[in-house]
Amino acid sequence: MKIRPGLAMAVSALAVMLSAPVQAADIIVTNATLFDGTGSDPVKNANIIIEDGRIKGVEIGDTSETATLVIDAGGKTVMPGLINAHFHLFFDFYSSPPVNPATSDETAEAYIRDVMPGRLQSHLEQGITSLFSPIDYAPHIFNLRDQVASGEISGPRLFISGPILMHSGNHYACSGDTDAAKAWCNERISLPIDTPDQARASVQKLVSDGADVLVFDAVSNQETLQKDAFSAMIDEAHRLGKRIVSHNLDARDVPFMLEAGIDGFIHAPSLFRDTDGTLLTEAGKRGLPLPATLGFYQRYIAEGHANSADIEEYETQKHNIELMYAAGATPLFASDMPGLPAPEVVPTVTGVMSGLGLDNKTILLSATRNVARNLLGRDDLGTIEPGQIADLILVDGDPLTDLAALTRVEVVIKDGSLAVDKR
Ligand SMILES: [Zn+2]
């Protein structure tokens, strides 16, 4: 339909007159000490104005803005919602023995219907407003992401990789007790990359299915690394505009992966201790994203379950992480530990990161801006600035001086709506 120019001008002028002077914002958070996630120092007496799911503005001191809902932060800290860079939603390795709650499409659907809403809500209540799931069952994880995005299920915004790209064969997570369950699991969580053509086809399938970031495993089911297939996989991901990161990777293969263009890591490269830094320093220098997913090891060791091989594996990962952080890798806040009860996520991850010597500001940025930018490739999340998606939390205390404040989340706003209010 075409509108005559004069009429169009009149219509738009009327729209401005109707909307501009009378519209109140949706939410104003007043009297906040604002840690905005940009790297700047916190500012006191901040007002955060939220409208249509976005940050409309940040004003210091008095504001003339009005809103449907005013939340007085009482001088407490307001910061961007937390983003967990690595958590599998369908697995439970936390229980002993580990539980695989889905062994068929029917049980996966039932799990989403009966269990998942409670689990996701629990993560949201901890201030986790986004979560990256690397490896979960397709198509169920794609459906779940859509159900959360539409508001049908309340929970953190999900970013997903879907199945993992790997050499064909059994994936270690497929511990279903029957052959049928194991076959179902492998089919749902992995896509093969045995040849360059197959690697490109699998990447194309993931991208057309809607994966946000692609994830691969380079240690399973092969004697030596199939370099031509991995090169094709990474090239195809980039050709289609997607980032691709490693889940499991031998440290000795990192130089090749850097040459091929890998975008980061969601576990530290393991299996080999890079004692002289020749393998991993370059990845650090490039500032590639790297989480410290050491929580499981530390738990096993603390509970006395770890054998000498476990401890050696832990020490290797820890050494490689420290080396890469020292060289400049970007720390990411990530728990992994599928099945970990949500209230334990923040204390576990901050404990691991502090134990590695990271300062509180680095840890806060690792859970906000840096995971959004460096892993997810999103510049509209992870900071509190005009135009950003309005995901923010109110915490009791100053997490810059006391990380335990992050466990005292009082209010969660996600997508510009009040999602949790514990006050
Ligand atoms: Zn994982």
Spatial contact of 266 and 245, defined as CB atoms under 8 Å apart: yes
Q: How far is the CA of 264 from the centre of ligand 1 (A)?
A: 14
Q: How far is the CA of 138 from the centre of ligand 1 (A)?
A: 16
- CATH tag for 82-375 (out of 3.40.190.10, 3.40.50.620, 3.40.630.10, 3.20.20.140): 3.20.20.140
Give dist(CA 140, CA 105) in Å, integer: 8
* The pLDDT of residue 267 is above 90: yes
Q: How far is the CA of 214 from the centre of ligand 1 (A)?
A: 13
Which of 13-17, 92-96, 203-207, 306-310 is predicted with the least confidence, judged by mean pLDDT? 13-17
Give dist(CA 90, CA 274) in Å, integer: 33
Q: How far is the CA of 66 from the centre of ligand 1 (A)?
A: 44
**Are 5-81+384-421 and 82-375 the same fold in CATH?**
no
Q: Which residues of 154-170 are buried (b: 16+ CB within 10 A; e: fewer)?
A: bbbbbbbbbbbbbbeee
Q: How far is the CA of 217 from the centre of ligand 1 (A)?
A: 10
Which residue has 């490739």 as its token pair? 377
Q: How far is the CA of 256 from the centre of ligand 1 (A)?
A: 22
Q: How far is the CA of 86 from the centre of ligand 1 (A)?
A: 6
Spatial contact of 238 and 269, defined as CB atoms under 8 Å apart: no
Per DSSP, the three-state class of 290 is strand
Residue 205's nearest CA partner among 240, 257, 159, 244 is: 240
CA–CA distances in Å: residue 383 to residues 35, 58, 81, 283, 388: 9, 12, 9, 25, 7
Tokens standing for residue 67: 């809103």
Q: How far is the CA of 134 from the centre of ligand 1 (A)?
A: 6
Give dist(CA 167, CA 163) in Å, integer: 12
**Mean pLDDT of all residues belonging to the chain:** 92
Q: How far is the CA of 23 from the centre of ligand 1 (A)?
A: 45
Q: How far is the CA of 205 from the centre of ligand 1 (A)?
A: 21
pTM over 0.85: yes
Q: What is the CA radius of gyration of the chain?
A: 23
Q: How far is the CA of 3 from the centre of ligand 1 (A)?
A: 54
264: DSSP letter: -
- Predicted pLDDT of residue 219: 87
Give dist(CA 312, CA 308) in Å, integer: 6
- Per-residue pLDDT tens digits for 324-339: 999 999 999 999 988 8
User: In terms of DSSP bridges, do strands 67-72 and 82-84 run parallel, antiparallel, or are they unpaired?
Assistant: unpaired
- Predicted pLDDT of residue 22: 54
* The pLDDT of residue 13 is above 70: no
Q: How far is the CA of 339 from the centre of ligand 1 (A)?
A: 11
Q: How far is the CA of 402 from the centre of ligand 1 (A)?
A: 28
User: Domain 5-81+384-421: which topology?
Assistant: Urease, subunit C; domain 1 (2.30.40)
Q: Hey, what's the torsion of the CAs at 381, 339, 150, 19, to 10 degrees?
A: -40
Q: How far is the CA of 90 from the centre of ligand 1 (A)?
A: 11
Choice between 57 and 9, residue whose per-residue pLDDT is larger: 57
Q: How far is the CA of 336 from the centre of ligand 1 (A)?
A: 5
* The pLDDT of residue 2 is above 50: no
Q: How far is the CA of 122 from the centre of ligand 1 (A)?
A: 20
Q: How far is the CA of 19 from the centre of ligand 1 (A)?
A: 47
Q: How far is the CA of 403 from the centre of ligand 1 (A)?
A: 24
Mean pLDDT in residue range 386-411:
98
Q: How far is the CA of 235 from the centre of ligand 1 (A)?
A: 23
- Predicted pLDDT of residue 107: 94
Q: How far is the CA of 150 from the centre of ligand 1 (A)?
A: 26
Mean pLDDT in residue range 66-77:
96
- Per-residue pLDDT tens digits for 367-391: 999 999 999 999 999 999 999 999 9
Q: How far is the CA of 247 from the centre of ligand 1 (A)?
A: 6
Domain residue limits, the chain: 5-81+384-421, 82-375
Give dist(CA 369, CA 212) in Å, integer: 17
* The pLDDT of residue 20 is above 60: no
Angle between helices 105-114 and 140-149 (to 10 degrees): 20
Residue 34's nearest CA partner among 334, 271, 364, 374 is: 364
Residue 33 phi, psi (nearest 5): -90, 110
Spatial contact of 140 and 108, defined as CB atoms under 8 Å apart: yes
